[in-house]
Each structure stands twice: as C-alpha cells, then as structure tokens.
A = this chain, B = another copy of it.
Amino acid sequence: MKKYLLSEDDMPTQWYNILPDLPKPLLPPLHPVTHEPITAADLQPLLPDEVIAQEFSPQRWIDIPDEVRDVYRIWRPSPLYRADRLEKALDTPAKIYFKYEAVSPAGSHKPNTAVPQVFYNARQGVRRVTTETGAGQWGSALSFAGSLFGVEVTVYMVKASFQQKPHRRSLMETWGGEVFASPSTRTQAGRDILARDPGSPGSLGIAISEAVEDALAHDDTKFALGSAMNHVVLHQTVIGLEAKRQLEMAGDYPDVVIGCVGGGSNYSGLTFPFLADTLTGARSGTRFVAAEPAACPTLTRGRYAYDYPDTAGLGPLLHMKTMGHGFMPPPIHAGGLRFHGDAPTLCLLHDEGLVEAVAYNQNEVFTEAVRFARAEGFVMAPESSHALRGAVAEALAAKEAGEARTILFGFSGHGHFDMGAFDSFLAGRLEDYEVPQDQVDASLAELPKIPARTV
C-alpha cells in the first residue's frame, strides 16, 4: 500500500463553493409555512450568521478561519492511499486510490463541518447547539467539536440506533454531549409521534424535527445539520481539494470518482473539486458515481421535487431527489445512509446527467468490506463500503474490458463501532432489502404541494 501525504502547509486555506459553477441555478430553499424563498432572517433563529451567508454565497472560494484550521490540523491533511494489495486481489489493470477520512478523532469525515459550524456558533456567543444523529457519526463529530470550543451539544439520536449502538452514545458522552433517544418526550414533534406510535424506532427526519424545535424554543441555542445543505457540503470540500493535490503527487487524475451517499456531504466533499474541472471545462471525460443503499434509493428511485428535510415539516423545503419526508427505510447497518433526501446541489448534478447513481444491497457491500480488510488492513464503516463496492465494480469492469482505469473512492469512516454488523455478516445473518414500489409510491404521494410559480 502506497500512501500520499501532504504537509500541513498544503492543507487547503479555502473551501470550494460549487454554487457559481452549477450548470443552472439551484432553486432556492422555501419557507416551510409560506412556501416563499427563505431569507437569511428566516434562518437566524436556527443558524449562525456566517453559516447563513455561506449557504447562499456566490463566491467560488471561502476562507477557512485559522481557528478551524488549527483544529483540522489534529487529523488533516488526511492520507490518500493506493490500494495496490486490493488491485492484486482483484487481478485488475485498474489503479484504485482511496481518500482516508477515518483518522479524525470521531472516525469519519463529519468533523470537517462540525468544527466550523461549532466555531461560528461559539464566535457568535451561542451557548448550545442541537442536532440529529442516526448511527451516531454526526452526533459524535458535533460533540467532539463542542468540547473543543466550549459549546454544549444536545443530540437527538434515532431510537433504534440509540438502543443498538450504546457505544456511539458513550462516545458522545465522553466528549460531553447530551444524548436523547428520538422520538423523545422533550419536544412536541416527539410527543406527537409517540402518541401515534409509542414503539416508533425513530428516523433521521423525526430527529431533525426534534432538534429544530428544541433550538427554536431557546434563544441561546441553535441547530446544526450534518449534511444536505450547501454550507455543510462546502466545508467537506477539504477532502477533494486535498485528494486532487495528492493525485498530482502520484502523477494521476481519476477516470472515475466514487462516494457513498446518505445526505450527500461526504460525496460532494470528495467529488465537487473534481467536478469543478468538468464544469469549468478544464477536464472532460471524468465519471462521477454515487453509491447508495438499495434500502434507501434516493437518487435511483426518488422524485426530484421540493420536500422537507424532516418528518414534522419544520425545516426549509429543499428542491432535491427524495423518497418523501415520511419514508421509513429498512433497518440496514449503514445508518448514515438512511436519509430520505440528498443535497440539492448533488441532486441537480445528478438530474443534469453529470453524476451517475447506483444502489447496492448490504451483503455485497460487506463482502467487499471484508475482502478489503484482509487485503489492506483497514476495517471500513458500512456506509463507506458502498463506495468500495462501486470501486470494485469499476475495477472488475476495467479487467473485463482489459483497460487501465484510475479509480478514486472515499473511505469516509472506520467500522470500529459497527463490528456487530460484521459479526452478523460473517454469521450469514445479514438481510438484504428491496423497497416495494407501493411503499415508494405511498411515500411520494405525501410530498408537499408547491405552487408552480416557485418552481
């Protein structure tokens, strides 16, 4: 295994904002009640000013504050690896590179945006930040960031994960985070769900509703989202910006870039700096593949429409590919991919044909994670393993075609808190799920009706 390391001096000083380079303008987020384009003033109860400015910024490059770079330095620049042992195991002429984000204290790419979000809140005097978390990666990252900047963190954790993954909860509490199983009795949104379904296992959509309601109810509290919105996506571009420089060190440029997609922040963070080359005409012929779970096939089977990011409809309406805000994905182990929507920027690029999408089942994904661990050592999160599955498919296609191909995929997080899932896989107890079309149709029938003038 060959690794490409950058010095700290080569760490990016600016994030890349794709908004000005999109092939057509993004439709604006809408106010959840009035359905009018949302304003900065509408968002102020939820987000700090700097984050709101970034959400709508027309600037291609946005400076990373020194205080954020100081924290990034704990684990950044992250390594880029050439997976030559995997190439040999696959007997492929393709070159496989991966960008390794598991080195952060929280073990994934999530701190790349948790740190600036908490920093901007701290600078504005915010005492507490609320958030949602599924498998716990995002809640961990925000708790970590909160501990460094002295901001309290309250996490609404999807109840099924809260019960299945007590160690993720312990991790958040070790960093001082306060964690509640969602739906909880702390919010009206939670109480409403529990009244209808006392045994609800929760969902990311419900947890977002609770975190938003909690933030709106307290003047000294704001909300942080782990994916989907533009400010989140742009913070993650440090991944792809570093990877580009590292591939330059290797004298290479990818023919195909592959990432897993939950809400799209990891995917966009890795791919947007490469997509920029395609969008500006600096490069052509690069393919971009988004790997999602068959259990939550937002890009491959969802509808392109305005929808809420949360179950109760408290968050701004986003124009995105969606399974419907009430969609309940089956309980796959890749909890970070169980989100009904995707980042609007990514959805636009997918709709324009610039990003391909593919959906995978659990067993094929874990098969690759185990092969990878035995070849390259690192044990990968189930989420990242979707990207790996896509990379292996590309490498085998290159072998079939007898052609060289340079593949880059995102290793977004380690699997140290997912060993129960590996256990189930190795014991042959892992279920694959296909979502029945009538469930998709029923969920899409509940999409909000938005008057044509705003679309």
Mark A residues whose CB is within 8 Å of B: 1-3, 5, 7-8, 70, 73-74, 85, 103-107, 144, 147-148, 166-168, 170-171, 173-176, 370, 373-379, 414, 416-417, 419-420, 422-423, 426
Hey, which chain B residues are within 8 Å of A423, CB to CB?
Answer: 166-167, 170, 173
Inter-chain contact A378/B105, CB cutoff 8 Å? yes
Hey, which chain B residues are within 8 Å of A370, CB to CB?
Answer: 174
**A70 CA to B414 CA, complexed, in Å:** 22
Hey, which chain B residues are within 8 Å of A166, CB to CB?
Answer: 419-420, 423
Q: Considering the complex, give the chain B residue whose CB is closest to the CB of A144.
A: B377
Inter-chain contact A170/B374, CB cutoff 8 Å? no
Task: Count this chain's copies in the assembly.
Answer: 2
**A442 CA to B55 CA, complexed, in Å:** 70
For the A-B complex with A74-B378, A105-B379 known, give 10 more contacts whose Cβ atoms are closer than 8 Å.
A5-B5, A74-B376, A74-B377, A85-B148, A103-B103, A107-B416, A166-B420, A170-B423, A173-B422, A174-B374
Q: Which of B2, B73, B107, B377 contacts A2 (CB 8 A)?
A: B73
Given A370-B174, A379-B105, A7 contacting B8 (CB threshold 8 A): no
20 A/B residue pairs, CB under 8 Å, sorted by A:
A74-B377, A85-B148, A103-B103, A105-B378, A148-B377, A166-B420, A167-B419, A170-B422, A170-B426, A171-B379, A171-B419, A173-B422, A173-B426, A174-B373, A174-B374, A174-B379, A174-B426, A176-B374, A414-B416, A417-B419
**A70 CA to B1 CA, complexed, in Å:** 7
CB distance from A341 to the nearest CB of B (A): 30
Hey, which chain B residues are within 8 Å of A420, CB to CB?
Answer: 166-167, 170
Inter-chain contact B3/A422, CB cutoff 8 Å? no
Inter-chain contact B175/A373, CB cutoff 8 Å? yes
